Amino acid sequence: METLTDNHSGTKAGKRFRLTVKSAEEAVRVIREKLGDKARVLSVRQVGGEGLKKFISSPKLEVIAEIPPEDQLVETENLDNPKDQIANSEVNSPSVAPSASPSVKPSTNESSIPTATEEDILTDSVESDSFKILAKTGFDSQLLSDISSWSNWNSIKDLSLAESLKEITIGLSDRFRSLKVEPTDDRIALIGAPGVGKTTTLCKFLAHEVFMNKKTPNVLKVENGVPNPDDALRIFCEVVGVTLYRESNKTPDSSMDSPLYLDFPGLSLGQADEWSRTQEVLDDLNVKTRVLVLNAAYDKQVLSKSINLGNNIGATHLALTHFDELSNSTKLWPLLLRNNLSPLCICNGQNVTGDFSTNVLNQMISRTFPEELYARGFSSYRNI
C-alpha cells in the first residue's frame, strides 16, 4: 500500500493508498482529484499526534482508498447485496496494515452498539429503512425524532443509506453553523461539576494559548468557599511559563494578549447555592466569558441538568471532555442545537496530553455515524 502524493493522479486500478487529512471534506476532494470518481474508501479512522503535538494538534483522519479493478467496480449507492461487498472487501485487503482498519467489535462500555447478528439484519434493509438502521446502530432517539421533523425529511427517508447519511450530515452542519457564536473575552472562567475535567481542560487551553496563539496567559485559582488545591496545575503552569495566582487583587490587568483564566472548584449538581456563590464571584471579578465544562460521557439527564444550572449563572460557552469515550456523538446534538451556549472546544483523554480541538463541528460529524456506515457512505459524501 502506498501513501497518496501529488504524483498519483492517473494511478492504475487495483492499488491502495493511505492518506491523512484534517477533515472528511478534504479527504473527498483529494481522493477525487488524485484517484478519480471510481475510487472507493475501504476504511476511515481517527489518528492523533505524538508527544508534545498532542497538546496543540487536533485529531486527523486516516483514510484507506483504492481504485478497484474494472471487473469489480461497484456503485456506492448500489447496496442490494451488502454482504457480498463486505466479503469482497475482506478478501481483497490482506495488504492493509491491521492498525489501519477500524474495529467493528461491540464496545464493552456502551450497549448501543449492535451485535454481528443485528448488523446482518440491518444490512438486509439498508435500501428501504435507513431510519431503523441508524436507530439500531446507536443513533440517539431524540436526534432521530428531531431529524424526522425536518421539512425535507419526506425526501430523505426514502433515499439509500449513503444518500441519507449525506443529507443528514448537511442538515446537522447547517443547523450547527446557524448557532450564535459568542466571542471570548480577556477573562475566562471554567466552571462545572466535580470530575468533569475542568483543570485538565484549563491546561489544554493554556498550552493552546502559549504554543499556538503566542499569548501570555495568567491563572487565578478561586477557592469560592471550597478548598481548591493547586499542586498539579502549578507544576503545569511552571512547565509552560504561566503565572498562577491565588488572590484576585494580585493578578495583573488582563488583555486579549494576556488573558486571565479562572479555575473554580467543582460545583455540586445538588447544591444550587454553590452555583449562586460562583455567579456572585464572577460578577464581582467582571468575568464575561463563562465556560461550562461537561463530561460528554455522562448521561443525558446529567448533562441537561448541568446546562440548566450553567444557564442560571450566565454561562456563555461549552467545552466537552472525554469525547473519545463515546461510541457516537448523537446524544450531544440536541444539547448543542437547543441551547444558547457557544460550542468552544472538544477534548479527548483524561490527562493533559489528550487531544484538544476548537473545530467542534468537524469533531461532532466525525463521531456522528458508526464507522462501518460512515465508511460505506463516504465515497458519496458531499462538501458541506
pLDDT (tens place) for every residue of the chain, 384 residues total:
656 654 454 556 678 888 888 777 677 778 878 888 777 777 777 666 554 444 445 567 788 888 877 655 444 334 344 444 433 434 343 443 433 333 333 333 443 444 444 434 333 433 336 778 888 878 899 999 999 999 998 888 888 878 888 899 999 999 999 998 999 999 999 999 998 999 999 999 999 999 999 999 999 999 877 767 777 889 999 999 999 999 999 999 999 999 999 999 999 999 999 999 999 999 999 999 999 999 999 999 999 999 999 999 999 999 999 999 998 899 999 999 999 899 999 998 777 766 889 999 999 998 898 666 655 554 444 444
- Break the chain into its structural domains and give their ranges: 187-315
Q: What DSSP string describes 194-261?
A: TTS-HHHHHHHHHHIIIIIS----EEEE--TTS----HHHHHHHHHHT-EEES-GGGSPPP-SSS-EE
**CB burial class (10 A; 0-12, 13-18, 19+) of residue 288?**
middle
Angstrom distance (rounded) from CA 367 to CA 322: 13
Q: What is the DSSP string of 79-104?
A: -SSHHHHHHHHHHT-TTS-GGGSPP-
Would you say the pTM of this structure is higher than 0.85? no
In contact, 199 and 232? CB cutoff 8 Å: yes
C-alpha cell at 151: 421539512
Yes or no: say if 172 and 285 are a contact pair by the CB < 8 Å rule. no
Q: Which three cell numbers mark 296?
A: 460528554
pLDDT in tens, 238-262: 999 999 999 999 999 999 999 999 9
Which CATH entry fits the domain spanning 187-315: 3.40.50.300, 3.40.50.720, 3.30.70.1560, 1.20.120.640? 3.40.50.300
The three grid cell numbers given for residue 256, joined into one nine-digit string: 486579549
Distances (CA, A) of 311 to 193, 267, 276: 14, 14, 11
Q: Say how far apart CA 34 and CA 4 lie, in whole Å.
A: 8
What is the β-pairing status of strands 187-191 and 260-263?
A: parallel
The Cα 14–Cα 5 span in angstroms is 17
Strands 356-357 and 260-263: unpaired
Element (DSSP H or E) covering residue 320: strand 317-321
